[in-house]
Amino acid sequence: MKNATFNGTFPFKPHFKKINGFKMHYVDEGKGAPIICLHGMPTWSYLYRNFIRDLSNANRVIAPDHMGFGKSDIPLNKEYRMHEHIDNLKEFLLKLDLWDITLVLQDWGGPIGLGFAVDFPNRIKRLIIMNTSVGILRDDKKPWYAKLEEKGIYRQFIMNIEAIIKAGMYHKNRVTETMIEAYTAPFPKRNYYIGALAWPKDIPVGKKHPSAKGMIDIRKNLKKLSNKKKILIWGLKDSIFPERVINSWHKIYPNIPTFKIKDASHFLQEDAPEKIISIIKEFVSNQ
């Protein structure tokens, strides 16, 4: 896994850094102002392979694998809570001593990346926000996985990585055997799913949830990033973060330029890489 290129689709040299007691894998390609690409559940830096290849022609592109995902270690003594992932990212980015950062955020990469950004706003230059949110559900609301738990199939569902990837893509014809191999490779045995199983349940439901305070603090401090250049890129076919979530971002950042991609779902990086990369190139070069 450490040196796997998946039929040449992920040809990047693997880098590793000791972070909070585990080895974090990351891709580090190109030179110039840093663009940090943060993945969510249950993907890894492979999600950004097209971004890395194209954007590294003019920028330094760094794509880490969160703890328990991709080529990073899977420590079994961690809770895999949001605060741990944020602490990992903080230590990672501070060790690299990065400035003028452009953050590319999607899914759990959103609150994790913004958790870093609100604590170190002076290191942030731009935000690219894609299909993510920062907030908590009311006590009377059920998270998306509630029905799976009621049916007793939560673990079975999460461990079917291939089905999750396919369900999160609009263009099913873009799914390849190599892609599925890449996304399932980090999970060869049951105990390798510890991070994937923990992430959905870390969605804060009510203020008593263990990650609720951290999420609320990030939301309250988003104003620290008001003066940063930012854009919103949204796949409209996403059932987890539907189009209405865009309105919540407009309330936080009223003037944020918004790019809606009609034919993209949750994994919009797979559905519409060419469109998104083009938007990012123009945004970075003009700002």
- 143-192 pLDDT, tens digit per residue, is 989 999 999 999 999 999 999 999 999 999 999 999 999 999 999 999 99
Inform me whether the pLDDT recorded for 19 exceeds 70.
yes
The residues that bridge with 196 in the sheet, in sequence order, are none
The residues that bridge with 159 in the sheet, in sequence order, are none
Q: Categorize the per-residue pLDDT at 1 as very low, low, confident or very high, splitting at 50, 70 and 90.
A: confident
**Pick from 135, 132, 136, 103: nearest CA to 119:** 103
Superfamily of domain covering 15-286: Alpha/Beta hydrolase fold, catalytic domain (3.40.50.1820)
In this structure, what is the dihedral angle of CA atoms 122, 228, 100, 53, given to the nearest 10 degrees? 150
Q: What percent of the chain has pLDDT above 90? A: 97
Inform me whether the pLDDT recorded for 287 exceeds 70.
no
pLDDT number for residue 51 = 98
Largest CA distance in the chain: 50
* Alpha carbons 44 and 26: distance in angstroms, whole number: 10
pLDDT number for residue 104 = 98
Contacts (Cβ under 8 Å, ≥6 apart) of 202: 80, 81, 82, 210, 211
Domain ranges of the chain: 15-286
* Alpha carbons 121 and 126: distance in angstroms, whole number: 10
Active-site residue set: 107, 238, 266
pLDDT tens per residue, range 209-226? 999 999 999 999 999 999
Residue showing tokens 């400035």: 99
Instruction: Centre a 10 Å sphere on the Cβ of residue 8 and count the other Cβ atoms it contains.
Output: 7
Q: Categorize the per-residue pLDDT at 124 as very low, low, confident or very high, splitting at 50, 70 and 90.
A: very high
Contact 287, 229 (CB under 8 A): yes
Inform me whether the pLDDT recorded for 240 exceeds 70.
yes
Inform me whether the pLDDT recorded for 112 exceeds 90.
yes
Q: Is 73 exposed, middle or buried (0-12, 13-18, 19+ CB in 10 A)?
A: middle
Average confidence (pLDDT) over 245-256: 97
pTM of the predicted protein model: 0.96
3-class DSSP state of 140 = coil
* Alpha carbons 260 and 236: distance in angstroms, whole number: 7
pLDDT tens per residue, range 47-84? 999 999 999 999 999 999 999 999 999 999 999 999 99
Contact 199, 41 (CB under 8 A): yes
